[in-house]
Amino acid sequence: MRLLFRGRAQVICRGKDMRAAVRPVNGMLDRRRYGEYVQDMLRLLLPCDAAIRPGDTLTVSGAPYVCVRTRVFAGHVQCDVRRRSA
């Protein structure tokens, strides 16, 4: 099942509730990096004050995810998350 979700979502991480822009992970580099899990991956664009690190568990629109990778930019935090079983 390919998750082609794009838009905005409610994210809960470390008890903090925030809004995120959601983008699907795509591209050849990401396919190599995440391998067979790429269909379960989402890229979240979070506010710049978001405190999230790889390994953190979070909820995206009620579904459980785990943070795999973060990148900090001047205006936002980019976070790649992988869906996990409930």
Query: Which pLDDT score, from 0 to 100, does residue 6 have?
Result: 66
Q: How is the chain split into domains, by residue range? A: 7-83
CA distance 52 to 69: 10
- In this predicted model, what pLDDT tens digit does every residue of 5-58 receive, in sequence order? 568 889 999 899 999 998 877 665 566 666 566 667 888 999 998 889 999 999
CA distance 60 to 29: 24
CATH class of residue range 7-83? mainly beta
In 1-86, where does DSSP find H-type helix? 28-34
Q: What is the pTM of this model?
A: 0.79
Whether the pLDDT of residue 2 is over 50: the answer is no
- Catalogue the long-range contacts made by 20-23 (C-beta closer than 8 Å, 24 or more residues apart): 20/44, 20/45, 20/46, 20/60, 20/79, 21/45, 22/60
